[in-house]
Copies of this chain bind each other. A is one copy, B any other.
Amino acid sequence: MGNVQEGENIMSYQPFTEQTVVEHVRQLGYLQEGIAECEEIGDGNLNLVFRIRQGEQRLIVKQALPYAKVVGESWPLTLERAWIEQLALREFATVASRYVPAVLGSDRTLAYTIIEDLSDYEIVRTGYLKGESYPELARHIGEFLGETLFATSDYAAGPIAKKRIERDYYNPELCDITEKLIFTDPFKDAESNNIEAALREDVERLWQDQALKVEVTKLKVGFVTKHEALLHGDLHTGSIFATQQETKIIDPEFAFYGPFGFDLGQIIAHLTLSTFHDPLKRFERFTDVLTVWETFEKTFRANFERAVEPFNTDGFVDELLRTVFSDTIGYAGCELIRRAVGLAGVADLETLPEATRLERKRDALALGTALIKERHGVESIDDLVTLLAGVRV
């Protein structure tokens, strides 16, 4: 039931309405006859998201739209991302089902995924803005990354099996968005940027920093060439649902094979950005950064004990983790910079009063630059946290 494979569905794509989606899932057998509540709860920028309830039955249907409306712009965007998203959720669930919503069904042509309803959870960024804390979050994220990054790497199942998984995750269009919005546009005078006038001078100094731009290019090249593991691809605090006890990572439509350090760097950058909004949470959030890395490392190392033979060389995992660590720092730096000047702002910064906001954006630029340029010199996660916390707030 539900999991209609490619080719089986003869309907052509069209966006659901609150009425048609209920009818559709009823035909699939998810609902009884009779009344069902349905509400469109998405922001409508990229996807339609319907919450459907009937008695005890609660479902989310997420359907991709064939375009992306971002800050007034509109561009066509492949529906295939919906298929990739549910593939990735299922892949992650094989080793970390606690940390992803259950996928109940999906359809490639209609570009939707049916997942469990997460109404009892809150989006972490939203919670943070309200002063919320999630005591288990960092450990859960570290574990999720330690499990999924290992499981989808060459080290878990060997290069042949990894190549088989990898083939499903080319995702050129969504990778292209990341390449442009994180690694390219913020480092030049691109139309897509969103630079506050008062910040212009600082940003122009960034554009003249040739050494920085070479390092960013290296990180970008890593993003496009290092096929180490299946990444979430967009792991910020807006892609995570949490309660006090539980964590669910959602929306892996940017999933692709890339460098281990990318997801790690993104989430560390966003934990840091949240302290720019709420300085009183600094100790807590930087402890979370520490916990994310340490849990990831511990989980990855434990898994690596089972690494397949071509890679289980004594001492290799230490060298590998050293590289993952410096990549992580570099990717965190890129994310800090783009969130200060790029197309996609974050509420952590944008909701601050002007004077504070400009200061924090300058901090993001300075800290991002330092992380990117000095990433090979940072010896330990404690040193990284010291560096992150060194920014005045």
Contacts and interface: CB of A to CB of B under 8 A. Distances in A.
B163 A310 contact: no
A225 B228 contact: yes
B179 A310 contact: yes
Interface string A210-244: 10011011101100111110000000000000000
Nearest to A216: B313
Contact of A313 (B170, B176, B214, B228): B214
Contacts of A221: 154, 311, 320
Interface string A92-111: 00000000000000000000
Interface string A277-315: 000000000000000000000000000000001110111
B176 A160 contact: yes
A228 B227 CA distance: 10
A175 interface: yes
Nearest to A215: B319
A225 B226 contact: yes
Contact of A315 (B167, B214, B220, B314): B214
Contact of A159 (B179, B226, B309, B315): B179
Interface string A183-217: 11000000000000000000000000010011011
A170 B163 contact: yes
Contacts of A154: 221, 224-225
B175 A159 contact: yes
- The interface residues of chain A, by DSSP majority, are classed as helix
B176 A172 contact: no
Nearest to A160: B172
A311 B179 CA distance: 11
A159 B214 contact: no
A311 B217 contact: yes
A175 B160 CA distance: 8
Nearest to A184: B310
A130 interface: no
Given A224-B159, A225-B228, A226-B225, A214 B316 contact: yes
A173 interface: yes
A392 interface: no
A184 B319 CA distance: 18
A180 interface: yes
Nearest to A158: B176
A217 B159 contact: no
A167 B170 contact: yes
Interface in A132-168: 154, 159-160, 162-164, 166-167
A217 B313 contact: yes
A220 B311 contact: yes
22 contacts: A159-B172, A159-B175, A159-B176, A159-B179, A160-B172, A162-B224, A163-B172, A163-B175, A164-B172, A167-B167, A167-B170, A184-B309, A210-B315, A213-B314, A214-B313, A216-B313, A217-B316, A220-B310, A221-B311, A221-B320, A225-B226, A225-B228
Interface of A: 154, 159-160, 162-164, 166-167, 170, 172-173, 175-176, 179-180, 183-184, 210, 213-214, 216-218, 220-221, 224-228, 309-311, 313-316, 319-320
